[in-house]
Amino acid sequence: MSSQKVAIVTGAARGIGAGVAKRLAADGLAVAVLDLDADACAATVSAITEAGGKAIAVGADVSNEESVNAAVATIVEKLGPPTVVVNNAGIIRDNMLFKMTVDDWDAVMAVHLRGAFNVTKAAQKHMVDAGWGRIVNLSSTSALGNRGQANYSAAKAGMQGFTKTLAIELGKFGVTANAIAPGFIETEMTAATAERVGVPFEDFKKAAASQIPVNRTGVPEDIAHTASFFISEGAGFVSGQVVYVAGGPKD
């Protein structure tokens, strides 16, 4: 097995996950492009391999422990032991509290929080064995509260607490854990939100940009750039941090 580092990026079929997967491949890592349906990962894998990188598509339900353990075993066999994990897989089930169902709540918690727990737990032994690892968890500005997102906000705030605890527990093994909290990023998810509220996506983006100090909305590459920094050798003394990549200050 080569000395090439192996990364797992969850929810990498599209959007932020795809952007991060492509960037890490360009940085020289072999990337396991993981999503619920392996076939959905084909475009991301093709983009990476056509650019000269190394990637495989992996299908797994991150909320299911057996599914995740089987996926990580496949990754070890095909690429090598993973020492980088980007927990990006997520879903939205937005609604006002009085209309939100228990299923809406549980589904969001299962993918974001249990998913991050399952994937990190399965991969961390490989990081400990290597004496080196990088964990990047995707939070959101919604962690600070967002109307209609009691479930998503709670999950994204939970990702921050999870990140800080990982940093404390795994630091002595050469493993860092950090979180990225994106603001408005142009993805299928934000396009779906625009559709849900009945606003054309271009108008939705313009309205969002007008409230952002840098006067534009974000793109997946903005998040990928921050992930690349956290995963770099030079970021070994940065751990337990949450960086808001939102075009302006958030707290």
158 within some domain? yes
85 within some domain? yes
CATH number for 84: 3.40.50.720
H helices present in 10-149, as ranges? 15-26, 42-50, 65-78, 102-109, 115-130
Backbone angles phi, psi at 59, to 5 degrees: -100, 130
196 within some domain? no
Q: What is the pLDDT along the chain (251 residues), one digit of tens a residue?
A: 458 999 999 999 999 999 999 999 999 999 999 999 999 999 999 999 999 999 999 999 999 999 999 999 999 999 999 999 999 999 999 999 999 999 999 999 999 999 999 999 999 999 999 999 999 999 999 999 999 999 999 999 999 999 999 999 999 999 999 999 999 999 998 999 899 889 999 999 999 999 999 999 999 999 999 999 999 999 999 999 999 999 999 87
190 within some domain? no
Q: Full-prediction pTM beyond 0.95?
A: yes
189 within some domain? no
- Number of structural domains found in the chain: 1
205 within some domain? no
123 within some domain? yes
Q: Is 244 a catalytic residue?
A: no
Q: Write down the residue that tokens 């992996």 correspond to.
A: 58
Residue-level pLDDT at 196? 86
Residue-level pLDDT at 113? 98
Which residue among the candidates 68, 119, 134, 152 is catalytic per the annotation?
152
Q: Is 13 exposed, middle or buried (0-12, 13-18, 19+ CB in 10 A)?
A: buried
Residue-level pLDDT at 1? 47
Going by C-alpha positions, the residue among 69, 81, 84, 13 that lies closest to residue 46 is 13
170 within some domain? yes
Q: Which residues pair with 59 in a beta bridge?
A: 35
Count of beta carbons in the 10 Å neighbourhood of residue 27: 17
For every residue of 189-204, DSSP letters joined together read HHHHHHHHTT--HHHH
Look up the domain containing 168 and give its range: 6-183+218-244
